[in-house]
Amino acid sequence: MTATAPPTPLGPGAAVLAFDVGGTDTKSAMVDAAGRVLGLRRTPTARDAGDAAGAVAASFAELARTLRNAHPGVDVVAAGVSVPGLVDEVRGLGLFASNLGWRDAPIRDLAERTLGLPVAFGHDVRAAGDAEHRLGAARGYDDAVVLAIGTGIASSMLIGGQPYSAGGYAGEFGHSLADPQGERCPCGAIGCLETVASAGAIARRYRAASGREVSGARAVLDAAGAGDPVARDIWDSAIEALAEGIARLVATLAPEAVVIGGGLSQAGPALFDPLGERVDALLSFHRRPVLLRAELGDDAGLLGTALAARDLATARAAAAGTAAP
C-alpha cells in the first residue's frame, strides 16, 4: 500500500497531500520535497446522499492520517483536492457533479477545516491536463488541448500558456454537439460527443446494436479487427465524430497540440492513426495540430493536483515573505 515510490516527473518542491476524487474511487497520496509520490492508493469515494460534500471532505481526514503515520518525517504544508463535474476554482465550490450529487458545495473550505492545511481546489480533468501541460505530452506547447476519453469525454485547455477554465464551464468537449439526430445525453442535450465516441459509448452502442455483451471499447475494437461489421461501424463512427470535433476545435482555437489520454488512448495506433488521417482530411488552410498520446497515464490527475498544492504553497510562502519550502 505504501511501497517504494516509483520515479515521477514532479521534481523538488513543497511537500503536499493530494486527493483526486472520482465518481467511483478517490486517489490519495503524499508528495515529499524530492517529488516522490508516497502511499498512493485508490479507495472508494465516500458517499452520503444527505451530505455528499461533507462525506468526501471527512474521508480526507482518515486518508491524511494514514499517509502521515506512514511517513512521519514528511512535513506537508498544503493539500490539493480535485473533483469532477462543474467546479468554481476561484470560490472553491463544487457546483455540480452528477455522479456525486453535490450542488454549490464549499469543498475547499470543508477540506481546509478537515485537514488543517491550505487547500488548492480544482477540477480533476483540468488537473490532469495541467500535469500533461507541465510534465507530460503537452509540455513546450503554449496552446494545447488535453482530452480525457474514458467513461465520458472531458478536456482541458492551455491558451497562451495559461490554463483556461471560464469560471469552471470551459472544456466540456464531451458535451458538444456531435450528432443533431443522435440520442439524448444524460446531461439533457441531444447528440453530445460522449454519447457517440467515449469508451463507454462505444461499448454501450455495440451492446445495443449487436445484442451481445462486451467488456468495453477495447473488446469492440478487437471484434472489429476480427471482421465483425457492427463493431467496425461503431468504432469508425466514433473515430469520425472525434475527428469532426477536433477539426472544429482546430478551426476556432487552433491548438498546436491535441493530447489524448484516458482509457480509449490505450488503443494506441488503432485510435491515433485513423483519427490523425481523418482530422487531416477535414482541414484545409488551418494550422494542423500534432496529435499526441498522453504520457502520464492514470495518475495525471493526482500529479496535477499535487502541482496545484505546490503552487499554493509557493504562493503562500512568497506572500509571507519567506522562501518557498
Q: Which residues bind its own copies (CB under 8 A)?
A: 86, 96, 143, 155, 157, 159-160, 162, 164, 166-167, 169-173, 175-177, 180, 185, 187-190, 240, 244, 247-249, 251-256, 282-287
Q: Which is nearer to its own copies, 4 or 181 (CB)?
A: 181
Give the separation between CA 133 and CA 259, rounded to whole angstroms: 9
Provide the minimum distance between the beta carbon of 278 and its own copies in the complex, in angstroms, as a whole number.
11
- CB of 78 or CB of 93, closer to its own copies: 93
CB nearer to its own copies: pick between 31 and 97 = 97
Q: How far is the CB of 259 from its own copies (least distance, A)?
A: 15
Of 88 and 299, which CB lies nearer to its own copies in the complex structure? Answer: 88
163 within 8 A of 133, measured Cβ to Cβ:
yes
Shortest approach of its own copies to residue 291 CB, angstroms? 16
Q: How far is the CB of 170 from its own copies (least distance, A)?
A: 5
CB 191 within 8 Å of CB 241: no
How far apart are CB 123 and its own copies at their closest, in Å?
13
Q: Which is nearer to its own copies, 86 or 309 (CB)?
A: 86
Cβ proximity to its own copies, 237 vs 266, nearer residue? 237
| Nearer residue to its own copies within complex by CB, 118 or 191 | 191
Nearest residue to 257 via CA among 142, 171, 129, 164: 142
3-state per-residue secondary structure call for the chain: CCCCCCCCCCCCCCCEEEEEECCCEEEEEEECCCCCEEEEEEEECCCCCCCHHHHHHHHHHHHHHHHHHHCCCCCCCEEEEEECCEEECCCCEEEECCCCCCEEECHHHHHHHHHCCCEEEEEHHHHHHHHHHHHCCCCCCCCEEEEEECCCEEEEEEECCEEECHHHCCCCHHHCECCCCCCECCCCCECECHHHHCHHHHHHHHHHHHCCCCCCHHHHHHHHHCCCHHHHHHHHHHHHHHHHHHHHHHHHHCCCEEEEECHHHHHCHHHHHHHHHHHHHHCCCCCCCEEEECCCHHHHHHHHHHHHHHHHHHHHHHHCCCCCC
CB of 247 to its own copies, least distance (A): 6
Q: How far apart are CA 16 and CA 113, in angstroms?
A: 16
Give the residue with the Cβ less far from its own copies, 96 or 272: 96
Residue 285 CB, nearest distance to its own copies (Å)? 6
Least distance in angstroms from the C-beta of 160 to its own copies: 7
